[in-house]
Amino acid sequence: MQTVKQTSPYVRKDVSTKRMMIDVLIALIPVVLFSIYRFGFDAIIRIVVSLVVMIGLEAIAFGMMHKPSNSENKWERIKSRYADYTINNITAPAVSAIIFAMLVPSKLPIYAVVMGAAFGIIVAKMLFGGLGANIFNVAAAGRIFIALALTNMFSGTYVGVDLIAGGTALTTLRSGLGFPQALNSYSISDLFFGNIPGAMGEISAAAILIGMVYLLIRRSADYRVIVSSLLTFVILTLLVGLKLYPYQVIDYTLYQLFAGGLMFGVVFMITDPVTSPVTRPGRWLYGLLVGALIVLIRLFGAYPEGVAFALLFANMFVPLIDYPKWATNKIKPAFVASYVVLLIILSLVVFFGVGGAA
């Protein structure tokens, strides 16, 4: 595979975009079905609203971004605006819409769903040029927007969920009671099978993993980003556990792994082909950056969760990672050494940051 001398973002394989989006929609089925099972009609209505808003607004913006023909017939002029409108312009926003819906609580007011979906599709995507041109992940941008714009709604004990903080399991971990008490409230099996409150699509690691297996088999998600982000997260979290909870290291790591939006973000958001690097080394580096940022935000940030914030921050560095002057598609020894050194430095920062060797 030869590196294309063009900075990201762009759609890497035009011929496979349709298939890739359909694969993601199929992979989301277990998560969506579980959210409907847990939250019923509340989940259905928020998914539908998100779909209508994102697909509809992208279609309107698409037409406005294309010049009409010189025909005197009004309908012909409107039709000409959509001459290049394809199935990809439906499946892509549909994927973003469902992912966004899975990031919000089941009791989130409908107007907040509309606000988040509209911000994501218009500001984070269409203003950048539309399909394949957006820098930031659409769903993550919409979630962060409503989380910051409607902070009072998502703080405290509103419907048992802090949207910024993620699932209640993580909020409990940061409540001051400490990890052992948090584990008493939510067991590892509860976290894995989704027997916890939280955002609709983030609570069942089992459903998410089913989708991940499908995407990897179909090669519609790059394993490098998934492995790199999870590897970085697990290593750094293990170091924290060794210092803070030496007798419960594994339980602490699994708790952090399955609580909040980490698994959902790693499978369905970090792997977004438009907002992630194009090169193999770039994807390894991108995964390391996202995984490290999530740990740093969870440990030292104001909020227990950090997936959406980490993802948007890492998105800003993708054009730099893919810069043609140094971008390459070959995994060279120098890159492997640099990757290991970066991981060691981050490990030291985290370990000493939590009081290691003190």
Give residue-wise pLDDT tens across range 77-135: 778 888 778 888 889 999 999 999 999 988 899 999 999 999 999 999 999 888 888 89
Higher pLDDT pick, 337 / 150: 337
Summarised one tens digit per residue, pLDDT across range 205-237 is 999 999 999 999 999 999 999 999 999 999 999
Q: Is residue 9 part of a domain?
A: no
Range of the domain at 263: 14-353
- Flag whether 2 is in a domain: no
- The answer to whether residue 4 scores a pLDDT higher than 60 is no
Lowest-confidence region among 216-220, 278-282, 328-332 = 328-332
The answer as to whether 100 is a domain residue is: yes
What are the b/e assignments for 125-158, b being 16+ CB within 10 Å?
Answer: bbeeebbbebbbbbbbbbbbbbbeebeebbeeee
State how many domains the chain has. 1
The pTM assigned to this predicted structure is 0.88
pLDDT of 173 over the 60 cut? yes
**CA angle at residue 103 from 9 to 282, to 5 degrees?**
30
Q: Say whether 225 sits in a helix, a strand or coil.
A: helix
d(C-alpha 210, C-alpha 33), whole Å: 12
When mean pLDDT is compared across 234-238, 251-255, 329-333, the lowest value belongs to 329-333
Report if residue 39 sits inside a domain: yes
**Over 70: is that where the pLDDT of 176 sits?**
no
**Is residue 186 one of the residues assigned to a domain?**
yes
Strands (E), the chain: none
Residue 8, in any domain of the structure = no
Indicate the pLDDT class of residue 238, thresholds 50, 70 and 90. very high
